[in-house]
Amino acid sequence: MSTASSSEAVERRLYNALWWAKVQSAGPLEVEPDTPAVAGLTRAASPDGSTVWLVPTLPSGAGHPVLEELGAPPVAVEQPNETARVLSICVACCWTDRSGPAWPGSVGTLAQIRSVYAGMRGRPEQSSDLTLIIGSLRRLHATHWLLWNEKAGEVRLGPRVITWTAADEATLRDLCRHLPDPPPAVLSSEPPPPEEPESDPLPAEVADE
Amino acid sequence: MDATLLDAEAEAAVLRVYRQVFAVLAREAGAMIVDPDLLDVDQAILDAFAESGSDGLTVEQATLACRAYPHDLIVRRFDVLRQYGAITKLVDRPNELRHRAAFAPYVMLMFLRRMSVQGGQAELHQLLTLEAHSVSDPGATEDDGLASTQRLTKVFRLLGNELAILVSTSTTAQLRENAQLAWGNERLIEQAEKVHRIVLERWPTLHRACTSLRMALAAYADAVQLAAGRLVERAGTTRALGLLPIETWLTFTRSSEPDVLAGVLDGLLFDAAAPDFSPQTMVEAVETGRRTGTARMAPPRPTEDVVAPESAAATDREELRAEAERVLAGRPSVDVVEVVDQAGDWITARRVLAELTAAHLHDELDYELVWSDGMRIDPNAGTPWATEGVFRRVTR
């Protein structure tokens, strides 16, 4: 009995270690929803529930501020200010229900981002803006801050946002209030799914079978 | 050669102490120690002598015993050791080939190695214990006490000076490396104070020497506090990390094998390396981005107090006008003497005159004060001497 439970514990530890190694090398991971829970990794279900993100959860006070305290350089990013601005704009566009948590948020469009960007700059849109925005979006997508679908021109908040604390979210709510309001999103891919159940609610049951 | 920087550092520490002690001797012997390997050579030679027994060794036998090192290096060090007396001929005669080694240099070598590892703190503790013993010995004389006190004074002055210079001139990393000077200082100071107490009780005439010891101790304690202050200030608010400098961690990560690194990280969960965007940096970025815009914000306006309060100048003007009208009492002009007499005593009259003068000088009030040559003298009046003049309205 005890050997069984101890071998189970060992297996459990190995299982955790494997996932930890994956997360430590690749950042947040997208997995099947039936993957068992892993210690230390927060699960963030995607909006449609088809996949789950595993995000490492660090104890409070163990994040990037430690680097600053030790005088070590943070992980470098190109055009840090521009990128942070685009992330702020995406938060303003995608975090529509600000009374709840930022994850998963809704889908924002490139048109919204461009409009808010020009509004923040306080001038009409310039041709160079798009280059900057796309570059920032790609950088943020690569580091899982955003999920940027370049083909559709649509963006969602990335799984990293679930690490935001209540205090962080309060700061960001304030930030969103200072940014210009985004125009309503015109989605290219989203409309079809909600239309189908609305148009024929009764046959839906039949279709399910 | 896969010597790491840390190894080199340890060797350098040994060498530093060794060089301090033997620089003079070695320079005279024509062989400065310029390489930490030479220390090992010395030790190997002395080890060979220890092995050889009572027969001693010739130079050739010694080089054979130390064949791990280059031949000429052994010969050179052998000469050096012989020149400063660490190795002597077995019998002092011209053609003697066999040599014997004195034990003292080997003890010295061990002592130096230990000091370089522990920074001399343990030795200092032992020295202090010995000094306490010797001064409390019934046979000790006043001269012993004086010598003991002076020795300790010098030790603590040197220690304190070294630390104080480090604090004021070196970088934090250097300071941290040499922080062993600061370790365990309270016990050191306590022990020295014990010696000081014994000396002062037995020979009160030595109070002058004891005063300088006390000063040296206080200076050392100050230097320790300064150094600790600087280290704590630099170590950050929450993590002292055992005062290890960040460079040490970096060196460790760069020089370690994958297995060692993996061992350290075992059981630690961390995120993959990714740029961080804290909400604060996002707010700052948006703020700076907004500033480049051409749309100008209106300057902040006070929201309360819509009615601006009357300025102090306007209040003053109205007060002066009221006073002038009171004095004139509807007349176009009034005699100054009359005004002075009305005021009664000079204290009041003086104040009224000051206000009339102010009204005269005020460029928004239409009054003037004109003095004439006459003077009224009346011993019975409140103000016996009064210059004549007129205060009147003017029209512009």
* Omega cis (within 30) before A104: yes
Q: Is the pLDDT of residue A208 over 50?
A: no
Distance CA B22, CA B28 (A): 10
Contact A26 B290 (CB under 8 A): no
Q: Is the pLDDT of residue B192 over 70?
A: yes
State how far residue A53 is from chain B, nearest Cα, in angstroms. 14
Q: Is the pLDDT of residue B116 over 80?
A: no
Instruction: Give the chain B residue whose CA is nearest to the CA of A58.
Output: B270
Contact A81 B288 (CB under 8 A): yes
- Mean pLDDT score, B150-162: 85
Put the strands of the sheet holding A29-31 in their side by side order.
Answer: A29-31, A52-56, A41-45
Distance CA B69, CA B43 (A): 12
B4: pLDDT confidence band, cut at 50, 70 and 90? low
* Best of A85, A117, A177 to mutate (most B CBs within 10 Å, chain B): A85
User: By CB neighbour count within 10 A (0-12 exposed, 13-18 middle, 19+ buried), where does A30 fall?
Assistant: middle
* Best of A70, A89, A137 to mutate (most B CBs within 10 Å, chain B): A70
CA B14 to each of CA A83, A166, B1, B34: distance values in angstroms, whole numbers, following the listed order: 51, 54, 20, 12
Distance CA B372, CA B387 (A): 8
Of residues B237, B238, B277, nearest to A87 (C-beta): B277
State how far residue B240 is from chain A, nearest Cα, in angstroms. 10
For chain A, give percent helix, strand, coil, nearest 5.
50, 10, 35
Q: Kindly report, residue by residue over B201-218, the tens digit of the pLDDT.
A: 888 888 888 899 899 888
Inform me whether the C-beta atom of residue A194 falls under 8 Å from chain B C-beta atoms.
Answer: no
Q: Is the pLDDT of residue A207 over 70?
A: no
Distance CA B229, CA A101 (A): 43
- Mean pLDDT score, A161-186: 85
Tell me the domain boundaries of chain B.
5-113, 119-243, 315-393
Tell me the domain boundaries of chain A.
2-57, 80-187
Q: Is the pLDDT of residue B30 over 50?
A: no
Residue A37: what are its φ and ψ, rounded to 5°? -65, 150
Q: Kindly report, residue by residue over B365-379, the tens digit of the pLDDT.
A: 888 888 888 888 888
Q: Kindly report, residue by residue over B335-353, the tens digit of the pLDDT.
A: 888 888 888 888 888 888 8
Contact A70 B280 (CB under 8 A): no
- Mean pLDDT score, B329-335: 87
Distance CA A25, CA B272 (A): 5
Contact A77 B246 (CB under 8 A): no
pLDDT value, residue B6 = 61
**Average pLDDT value for chain B:** 77
The set of residues, in sequence order, having a beta carbon less than 8 Å from that of B209 and lying 6+ positions away, is: B146, B149, B150, B153, B199
Q: Is the pLDDT of residue B56 over 60?
A: yes
Inform me whether the C-beta atom of residue A23 falls under 8 Å from chain B C-beta atoms.
Answer: yes
In degrees, rounded to 5, the angle at the alpha carbon of residue A24 between the alpha carbons of residues A20 and A29 is 75
CATH 1.10.10.10 fits B5-113, yes or no: yes
pLDDT value, residue A137 = 92
Secondary structure E strands in chain B: 87-89, 99-101, 333-335, 367-377, 385-393
Distance CA A86, CA A159 (A): 17
Q: Which residue has the higher pLDDT, A130 or B69?
A: A130
Q: Kindly report, residue by residue over B253-274, the tens digit of the pLDDT.
A: 888 888 888 787 777 777 777 8
Q: Is the pLDDT of residue B238 over 50?
A: no
Q: What percent of chain A has pLDDT above 90?
A: 5
Q: Is the pLDDT of residue A199 over 50?
A: no
- Mean pLDDT score, A87-114: 87
Looking at the domain A80-187, which fold is it?
Arc Repressor Mutant, subunit A (1.10.10)
User: By CB neighbour count within 10 A (0-12 exposed, 13-18 middle, 19+ buried), where does A133 fall?
Assistant: buried
Inform me whether the C-beta atom of residue A70 falls under 8 Å from chain B C-beta atoms.
Answer: yes
pLDDT value, residue B15 = 66
ipTM: 0.77
Q: Which residue has the higher pLDDT, B6 or A52?
A: A52
A202: pLDDT confidence band, cut at 50, 70 and 90? very low
Q: Which residue has the higher pLDDT, B54 or B16?
A: B54
The most confident of the ranges A60-64, B18-22, B66-70, B309-313 is B66-70
Q: Is the pLDDT of residue A200 over 70?
A: no
Contact A66 B270 (CB under 8 A): no
CB neighbours of residue B348 within 10 Å: 14
Q: Kindly report, residue by residue over B61-78, the tens digit of the pLDDT.
A: 888 888 888 887 788 778
pLDDT value, residue A138 = 92
Contact A69 B281 (CB under 8 A): no
Q: Sign of dihedral through CA atoms A24, A26, A30, A36?
A: negative
Q: How far apart are the first and last CA of chain B?
A: 104
Q: What percent of chain B has pLDDT above 70?
A: 75
A–B CB contacts, 8 A cutoff, strictly below: 111
State how far residue B202 is from chain A, nearest Cα, in angstroms. 53
Q: Is the pLDDT of residue A17 over 50?
A: yes
- Mean pLDDT score, B146-157: 87
pLDDT value, residue B28 = 47
State how far residue A129 is from chain B, nearest Cα, in angstroms. 12
Q: Is the pLDDT of residue B180 over 70?
A: no
Q: Kindly report, residue by residue over B269-309, the tens digit of the pLDDT.
A: 777 778 888 888 888 888 887 755 455 566 666 655 555 55
Rounded to the nearest angstrom, the gap between the alpha carbon of residue B323 and the centroid of all alpha carbons in its chain is 65
pLDDT value, residue A191 = 47
Q: What percent of chain B has pLDDT above 90?
A: 1
pLDDT value, residue B241 = 46
Residues in B lying within 8 Å of A, measured between beta carbons: 236-239, 241, 246, 265-266, 269-286, 288-290, 292-295
**Average pLDDT value for chain A:** 80
Q: Is the pLDDT of residue B172 over 80?
A: no
